[in-house]
Structure 1
Amino acid sequence: MGWVWKEEYLDLILVPFGFFIMCFYHLFLLYKYLKCPQLTTIGYENHNKNAWVEKMLLIEPKDRGIAVNVLNSQLSASTSLSSISLILCSFIGVVLGNSSNHFLTSKFILGDTSKSTNSIKHIAVLSCFLLAFSCFVQTTRHFVHGCFLISMPVGNDPVESVKCIQKAVRRGSNFWAAGLRALYFATTLLLWIFGPIPMFVGSVGTVMVLHLLDMNKAPLIRYGDNSLKKIEQNGTSAVGTLEHNGRP
């Protein structure tokens, strides 16, 4: 007997290829970020956030409410997305547990519609939402830590204090970006529920749109190199004032 084409082969060809395109693009983006961060939107935003931390620390601690409010807005966004991701995980778990739920039949899907394949689809989407939830939780953790640090005076080593706050803000931003990427993967895998062709088209379209959004062509803004010196001077004067008042 000769070889016979089956619709199930579409899942074996298009789904891995679409997933490979998504993974390859994000590996390329990671390489670009590590080698030339100024050419990526993530690196450009991190540069601006580092400068923002330095400028905020030039303000007196009692007047840094605006900085805390900015971080709180990020906290609210990450908390909302983490809650949404957890709710979607619960919903997918219910759908996965209800094996008799077939809201789409084979006549509407061009591809494999077996129960095992449907289970793989739901598990893949569930994994992406769980990863997104974990990333947004880490985002909340680092921004909360940044709020604590930026709301108090710098330590005896102002430069290290600035670097510590910048590290917390950068990590929170990076986990935020990773959580969004997990949602992008989840979206393309959700399209797989409707067949391998929508999933493949969605993967290609997502990569094209993300490439336009992730590549940065704007030059880095130079905010001045004297911020750290001013922070160090303010920290030294503050320590001198405390010692003069007899405090430890």
Structure 2
Amino acid sequence: MMFGMTFKKTDEELLDYALVPSGLLVMLIYHVWLLVTIRHHPTRTVIGHNRVSRHEWVFHMMSDPQKNGILAIQTLRNNMMASTLLATISITLSSLISAVVGRAGETLALTYTIHTVKYFSILVCFLTAFLCSMQCVRYYAHVSFLINVPSPKGSREFAEFVAHKLNMGSLFWSLALRAFYFSFPLLLWIFGPVAMFTCSCLMAFLLYFLDTVNPASETLLNGHVDGYIKITDESRGDFKEAAALGDSNIYSTLLQSSKLGSASNAKLN
């Protein structure tokens, strides 16, 4: 009986050493692919679409601060409330996990075991989500002041700066959500390595559909950007006229697209 228990324990440890790194590798490979896609083909991802929309929204809000100032502040306040809620959930779960680990350490002398690694990895995910959510609130609060600051007529650099800060806040929001996504397989790791590996594969599969857009939406956004470049180049107007559709240099920098970069260079020449 004792030899059977020893064999079972060794077999479970082997599964931990084999399936847990494999599950983490699946999640890592997916996010590396997502990062490369955002870098080179941002219009294929939801993150790229949202960045373009936020950039255009800032230009629209700052084109007429007296009319759109209240709407801008209300929108930023709603995002701050969502970030605050996520931060509250994160720090609450972190406190609960710390209490569970501390109690287990006192009663079972649980030190430097596989169970400690499980709880510690989950704790790191929730603490990361909390810190990223706090940074998100910090950037949104900063943008709420900047978006109503008067800027000289025709000055687009300041609007680019505000849009950059807004996108930085949204980046931390995305990182906080990713930390929560990573915590799901780690939570199921408590029930065994097989559950953890299965959840990692399913999570990567589901995230693919959440992070990518269909070809129709990608074509729509590309047509919108191309039309924007044409109108902006023809108008050469002031900040308020260009704010309706944005600035080609903004989209070129934001999307990191060779298509937009070549179009902008051709028009400048």
Deviation at 1:115, TM superposition (A): 7.0
How many angstroms apart in 2 are the aligned matches of 1:229 and 1:214? 36
Q: Which residue of structure 2 aligns with residue 88 of structure 1?
A: 93
* Structure with higher helix content: 2
Q: Which residue of structure 2 aligns with residue 55 of structure 1?
A: 60
Moved more, 51-60 or 26-35: 51-60
Deviation at 1:36, TM superposition (A): 1.0
- Residues 1-248 of structure 1: matches in 2 within 5 Å? 6-61=11-66, 63-99=68-104, 116-155=113-152, 158-217=155-214, 218-219=217-218, 220=221, 222=224, 224=228, 225-226=231-232, 229-231=237-239
Deviation at 1:153, TM superposition (A): 1.8
Amino acid at match of 2:133: F
Helix, strand or coil at the partner of 1:151? coil
TM-score by length of 2: 0.76
Deviation at 1:154, TM superposition (A): 2.0
- Unaligned residue ranges in structure 1 (runs of 5+): 103-112, 235-248
How many angstroms apart in 2 are the aligned matches of 1:216 and 1:228? 32
Does structure 2 conserve the Cα–Cα contact (< 8 Å) formed by 1:142 and 1:169?
Answer: yes
Deviation per CA, 1:43-101: give whole Å up to 9, x if none.
Answer: 01101111111111122336410111111111000011011101111111001101269
Does structure 2 conserve the Cα–Cα contact (< 8 Å) formed by 1:53 and 1:162?
Answer: yes
How many angstroms apart in 2 are the aligned matches of 1:196 and 1:229? 61
Q: How many residues align?
A: 222
TM-score by length of 1: 0.82
Amino acid at match of 1:222: H
Deviation at 1:134, TM superposition (A): 1.0
Quick one: structure 1 residues 210 and 34, their matched pair in 2 at CA, closer, same or farther if it must change by over 3 Å?
A: same
Deviation per CA, 1:11-46: give whole Å up to 9, x if none.
Answer: 111111001100111111011111111111100110
Moved more, 55-64 or 160-169: 55-64
Helix, strand or coil at the partner of 2:92? helix
Quick one: structure 1 residues 199 and 233, their matched pair in 2 at CA, closer, same or farther if it must change by over 3 Å?
A: closer
Does structure 1 conserve the Cα–Cα contact (< 8 Å) formed by 2:121 and 2:186?
Answer: yes
How many angstroms apart in 2 are the aligned matches of 1:20 and 1:194? 19
Q: Which residue of structure 1 aligns with residue 266 of structure 2?
A: none
Helix, strand or coil at the partner of 1:129? helix
Give me the identity figure in percent.
34
